[in-house]
Chains A and B, each alone.
Chain A
């Protein structure tokens, strides 16, 4: 007690959720409210049709409220509602308000089609605390409806965005590059600028995941054909004029061989709940051997017992050990247990497509030369140093 004491102050971003020694058990919780979607996008890794059979298998409201309460009790500050299309749930508003009243901020991933005037007004009155994130599938009815697989979807999406604008609700937009909308990119970026959305720059999906429940081999064949090639990926990324500089800075901090341990990412430090009440280490990792049924145990048990053990998993696949475990492009490469499981049904099989994308990026920023394989590069530390010395040149 004394003079000139500041009693209340704003938390700075670097303090979230707090210094490491005080960190709460759960910073953010992701919840897939449903796998159902009112779109039927060409590339989607998870969507189910809007039928009663899918709906009846989902978590009910009471179960979800209990999970949210468990999360708040563990110090969770942010909940991300995703799907499928989360706004398809009849109880979305109840879940949203309950989450906010527990003192957690909310991120909503949506296609925006179901944003009603009432919902926009509610979001303006009881702020989410984080911008909504809206996926965009084209800038014209023809391109959007073809990419989303739903006639009339474009009109509903634009109407939803307008309603958010009318009520001053913050949002970001995320582009999706698919054959029907590839010609829309420039227009998308102009529109984004005109909207004054919170994105600092365009964000695109283009390296699509296969069906994450490994439930549709025929569709997987189609998804593979929708992926941009590694070179096309780099050309899209390089639309950002600071791409090379930013990637060099990133690689200066985060590249290096991962070794045998499979989970060098943040998986399992937080949790994701699928539409049926199973806790996953991360959103795309649905290998039944790695999930925890929350009908049988608590979220805290998953975070303190199951996930820490799983995080110790080591690779045994000789191909992975010879390549990925020794590859210094880890950090740049999206190879991970979840992607491996989606592609191959194991946690430790190299995903050739991701390997190609990582190598193309490494070439672009000058880490490797044409034809080199990164796991065979012995002097990667020297290369990293040289690359950092050329940063900004």
Chain B
């Protein structure tokens, strides 16, 4: 699936996201997520900032614009970051794109 900035991504129901001691930890619940059953994932600050905005309402364009403003960064760079992360998380089935 080709991701576009108008897409809305939401966390999959097959993962649980937890914040522990300031770290965002993604815990897979179902088979087929990640490389092995006991894998856990973490995200850097950028990843956390993106993940926290996946509320089922914001498009990836909105997410990018908010982050560009917050971090005083170039919108094109942020959009690239957001699309890159979403592609990775989609591949790992940690996020889904709900049907419109």
Chain B contact residues, CB within 8 Å of chain A: 16-18, 20-23, 25-31, 34-35, 37-44, 46-47, 50, 67, 71, 73, 77-78, 80-81, 84-85, 88-89, 92, 94
Q: How many contacts between A and B, using CB within 8 angstroms?
A: 99
The A interface, classified by DSSP as helix, strand, loop or mixed, is: loop
Known: A8-B85, A11-B40. A101 touches B31 (CB 8 A): no
Q: Complex formed: what's the CA distance from A22 to B25 in Å?
A: 13
Report A-chain residues with C-beta under 8 Å of the C-beta of B80: 3
A238 located at the interface, meaning its Cβ lies under 8 Å from any Cβ of chain B in the complex: no
Q: Is the CB of A129 within 8 A of B77?
A: no
Contact B28 A127 (CB under 8 A): yes
A103 to B24, CA, bound (A): 12
Chain B CB within 10 A, most for which of A5, A22, A170: A5
Contact A102 B20 (CB under 8 A): no
A1 x B46 contact (CB < 8 A): yes
Report if A124 contacts B (CB, 8 A).
yes
A105 beta carbon closer than 8 Å to chain B:
yes
CB neighbours (8 Å) of A40 from chain B are none
Q: Nearest Cβ in chain B — how far from A80, in angstroms?
A: 14
A8-B88, A103-B16 as given contacts; A22 in contact with B21, CB under 8 Å: yes
Q: Which of B21, B29, B81 contacts A18 (CB 8 A)?
A: B21
Judge if A242 is at the interface, Cβ distance under 8 Å. no
In the complex, are the beta carbons of B89 and A127 less than 8 A apart?
A: no
CB-contacts of A101-133 with B (<8 A): 101-105, 124-130
B42 contacts A17, C-beta separation under 8 Å: no
* B85 → chain A closest CB, angstroms: 4
A-B contact pairs, 23 of them (CB 8 A): A3-B77, A5-B44, A5-B46, A7-B43, A7-B84, A7-B88, A8-B41, A9-B43, A10-B34, A10-B40, A22-B23, A24-B20, A24-B21, A75-B21, A101-B29, A103-B16, A104-B27, A105-B27, A105-B38, A126-B30, A129-B28, A129-B38, A170-B37
